[in-house]
Amino acid sequence: MSAARRRWLIAARIGAGVALVSAVMFGAGPACDTPDPTAITEIDAPSYDQFVGQNLSATQAGVSQVLEIRCGSLDCHGQVGRALRIYGEFGLRFVDGDADNQPGTGATTDTEHEANYQSVIGLQPEYMTLVYEGYYPPEALLLIRKPLQLERHKGGAVFVSGDATYQCITSWLESGGDAGGSTDYDQCGAAAQQ
């Protein structure tokens, strides 16, 4: 190897090293920033009242009840470790809530309904807003994508497009925007019976 080529190689290695260190420091800087504790993400979300269900007949149900039955078993989303965490009468119970119930005893409480609502709308807050305001279809949300198997879902397919569960949840999601609308409690009731 010639002396000139050797000098060139050494210079190239030094240059690469400097570039690597700079890149690491440049990348680490923003990563070490402290998150702004005052920052909030505002969510324009579907109605809580319709999530729980109002003035329901014996054959109707709210969205929360459908999620409790279809998604919230203790071996699925009725677990504290799930990002989508569902509480309910037959699944996970809210600790230090208004009842301190055990699974299978006592109806789903107001605290548990509120926790379910926050879990659902907070899963993808920005997308939830865009879906509710009609900019995106419900299929943009993991809440719909996973049970439809459009994305990997360890629990497999839970419903199919157009069935009662799908119509129940999507009618609630799409109850905002210009078109307006309301949750289809009849479909929710049918889904809760499946």
Binding interface with other proteins (CB under 8 A):
1, 69, 73-76, 78-80, 90-95, 100-104, 154-156
Read off φ and ψ for residue 115, nearest 5 degrees: -65, -40
Largest CA distance in the chain: 91
Q: Which is nearer to other proteins, 4 or 39 (CB)?
A: 4
How many whole angstroms separate alpha carbon 175 and alpha carbon 126? Answer: 17
How many whole angstroms separate alpha carbon 127 and alpha carbon 9? Answer: 51
Q: Which is nearer to other proteins, 104 or 137 (CB)?
A: 104
Q: Which is nearer to other proteins, 1 or 32 (CB)?
A: 1
Q: Which is nearer to other proteins, 155 or 177 (CB)?
A: 155
- Residue 142 CB, shortest distance to other proteins, in Å, is 17
- Residue 84 CB, shortest distance to other proteins, in Å, is 13
The SS3 assignment for 11 reads: helix
**CA dist 25 to 12, 15, 16, 20, 76, Å?**
20, 15, 14, 9, 41
Of 124, 104, 121, nearest to 113 by C-alpha is 121
Q: Which is nearer to other proteins, 73 or 129 (CB)?
A: 73
- Residue 42 CB, shortest distance to other proteins, in Å, is 31
**CA dist 59 to 40, 155, 187, Å?**
39, 27, 9
